């Protein structure tokens, strides 16, 4: 029996004390080995949520989670590695155009991604809408794809051996009301990102109605903690705080978002998706030390699309196969004329999930074709009786519930709303 009994670690934090390095190392390791019980770790997570952790404690906690598993190393690749992580938003399909775009500009993009839970979709769910595409590939195959100058980007599922302590802890936090702790979120995200072996990382921290952080001050605190953790671990890290009151682009739902990403890769697509994709690409290229290349050129001249096609094919997908479409659609028309002044990201996200685009529990399946198409965005004029939103689903019995969710989702006014900026702040290492 260790001198660090689980109870003494829990009571130290419960009473507002600071955990020592030895206590943190022990408790994370013992939890991973099953020596600390789930109920003990849940109690500790609640004490951390209520009492917080210092910068030193958070860094040590992250390192302990990192040490619970394998750490990938791509430092021998001939090109610099850089990745992006988003904290999740509605219609946030940016990884899809961004990864091949940044690869087309000369970086290698190793991206270990997740499946969605609740109203924000997961990148793997979107890519799995492409016939044949496989999320599970070996580290050796990942390395081959990253080293290939015609591909250079890989988006795949994180293996079970990467930060296993986080996987177990996150499952406990999910069911014990302890997700919303800034040090626990920061260490959870950064332990996985550092383990994936990227040399640089751009964080897209979403703020607003459709994000899990609703307030700018919370998002700034999380972004600062993550930038510090990345920087201290030797990963060049920058965070952008970006608006998530309105969905990104004109689609929310897996295959619908792939189709919109293809428009962006073909040089078109909605203005907000293009703007944020280019902003993040420029940040990633700076961190990767690549200058003199404008990613807008790589979108316009088809190089990003070539990398997309190669990236999809490298993981078994058929880039030419028609995307799945839902069996039923229902279009909601505008009840009045005027200007659309508000389109609520949370309501759209929840309705898309109700239609079958998202899952309720880990392991549930999702419908590839389900989701919502937005025919107008805030600032656009609209005429009574014209299409506002189209609902897509294979399960038409979900449509009435989704329509109920969407009733308060929009406002039609007389005067155009002032456009709000997409990027609200930028956080760099101090």
Known catalytic residues are 85, 166, 173, 188, 192
Return phi, psi of residue 253, to 5°: 140, 155
Q: Residue 170 CB, nearest distance to ligand URA (Å)?
A: 6
Cβ-count burial 336-371 (b if 16+ within 10 Å, e if not): eebbbbebbbbbbbbbbbbbbbbbeeeeeebbbbbb
Beta bridge partners of 157: 113
Q: Is-contact 390 373, C-beta < 8 A?
A: yes
Beta-strand relationship, 109-113 and 153-157: parallel
CB closer to ligand URA, 185 vs 276: 185
CB closer to ligand URA, 120 vs 393: 120
Binding flag, residue 53, ligand URA (CB under 6 A):
no
At residue 426's C-alpha, the angle toward residues 423 and 430, to 5°, is 175
At residue 183's C-alpha, the angle toward residues 181 and 187, to 5°, is 120
CB closer to ligand URA, 49 vs 370: 49
* Part of the chain binding ligand URA (CB under 6 A), chosen from 128-136, 183-191, 283-291, 342-350: 183-191
Q: Residue 204 CB, nearest distance to ligand URA (Å)?
A: 13
CB closer to ligand URA, 158 vs 357: 158
Binding flag, residue 185, ligand URA (CB under 6 A):
yes
Helix (H), strand (E) at residue 49: helix 38-51
Return phi, psi of residue 328, to 5°: -130, 140
Q: Residue 95 CB, nearest distance to ligand URA (Å)?
A: 15
Q: Distance between alpha carbon 380 and the CA centroid of its chain, in Å? A: 28
Q: Residue 191 CB, nearest distance to ligand URA (Å)?
A: 9
Comparing every residue's Cβ against ligand URA, the nearest one is 188
- Judged by DSSP in three states, 358 sits in coil
Distance between start and end Cα atoms, the chain: 41
CB closer to ligand URA, 173 vs 392: 173
Distance CA 422, CA 214 (A): 15
- The closest alpha carbon to 414, from 337, 344, 342, 333, belongs to 337
Distance CA 108, CA 154 (A): 8
CB closer to ligand URA, 83 vs 272: 83
Q: Residue 192 CB, nearest distance to ligand URA (Å)?
A: 6
- Using CB under 6 A, which of 81, 86, 120, 188 touches ligand URA? 188
Binding flag, residue 61, ligand URA (CB under 6 A):
no
One symbol per residue from 125 to 164: x for binding ligand URA (CB under 6 A), - otherwise; what is it? Answer: ----------------------------------------
Q: Is-contact 388 375, C-beta < 8 A?
A: yes
Return phi, psi of residue 371, to 5°: 150, -160
Q: Is-contact 108 79, C-beta < 8 A?
A: yes
* Part of the chain binding ligand URA (CB under 6 A), chosen from 23-31, 185-193, 292-300, 401-409: 185-193
- Using CB under 6 A, which of 102, 189, 255, 278 touches ligand URA? 189
CB closer to ligand URA, 113 vs 405: 113
* Part of the chain binding ligand URA (CB under 6 A), chosen from 1-9, 178-186, 251-259, 355-363: 178-186
Binding flag, residue 170, ligand URA (CB under 6 A):
yes
Footprint of ligand URA on this chain (CB under 6 A)?
A: 170, 179, 184-185, 188-189
């Amino acid at each position: 029996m260790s001198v660090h009994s689980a109870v003494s670690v829990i009571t130290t934090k419960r009473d507002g004390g600071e955990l020592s390095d030895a206590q943190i190392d022990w408790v994370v390791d013992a939890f991973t080995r099953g020596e600390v019980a789930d109920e003990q770790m849940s109690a500790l997570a609640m004490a951390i949520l209520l009492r917080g952790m210092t910068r030193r404690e958070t860094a040590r906690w992250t390192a302990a989670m990192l040490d619970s598993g394998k750490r990938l190393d791509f430092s021998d690749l001939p090109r610099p590695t850089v990745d992006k992580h988003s904290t999740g938003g509605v219609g946030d399909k940016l990884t899809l155009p961004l990864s091949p775009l940044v690869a087309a500009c000369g970086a290698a993009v190793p991206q270990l991604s997740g499946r969605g839970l609740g109203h924000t979709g997961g990148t793997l769910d979107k890519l799995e809408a492409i016939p044949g595409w496989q999320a599970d590939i070996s580290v050796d195959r990942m390395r081959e794809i990253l080293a290939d100058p015609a591909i250079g980007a890989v988006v795949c599922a994180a293996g079970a051996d990467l930060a296993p302590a986080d996987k177990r802890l996150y499952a406990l936090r999910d069911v014990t009301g302890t997700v919303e702790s800034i040090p626990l979120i920061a260490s959870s995200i950064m332990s996985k990102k550092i383990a994936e072996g990227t040399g640089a990382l751009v964080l897209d921290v979403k703020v607003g109605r459709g994000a899990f952080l609703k307030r700018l001050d919370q998002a700034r605190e999380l972004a600062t903690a993550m930038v510090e953790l990345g920087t201290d671990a030797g990963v060049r890290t920058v965070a952008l705080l970006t608006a998530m009151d309105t969905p990104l682009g004109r689609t929310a739902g897996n295959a619908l978002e792939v189709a919109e990403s293809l428009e962006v890769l073909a040089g078109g697509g909605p203005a907000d998706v293009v703007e944020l994709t280019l902003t993040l690409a420029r940040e990633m290229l700076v961190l990767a030390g690549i200058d003199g290349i404008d990613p807008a050129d790589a979108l316009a001249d088809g190089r990003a699309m070539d990398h997309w096609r190669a990236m999809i094919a490298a993981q078994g997908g058929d880039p030419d196969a028609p995307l799945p479409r839902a069996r039923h659609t229902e279009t909601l028309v505008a009840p009045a004329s005027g200007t659309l002044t508000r389109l609520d990201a949370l309501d759209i996200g929840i309705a898309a999930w109700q239609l079958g685009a998202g899952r309720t529990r880990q392991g549930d399946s999702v419908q590839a074709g389900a989701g919502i198409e937005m025919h107008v965005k805030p600032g656009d004029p609209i005429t009574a009786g014209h299409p506002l939103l189209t609902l897509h689903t294979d399960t038409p019995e979900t449509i009435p519930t989704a329509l109920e969710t969407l009733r308060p989702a929009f406002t039609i006014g007389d005067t155009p709303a002032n456009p709000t900026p997409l990027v609200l702040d930028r956080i760099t290492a101090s």
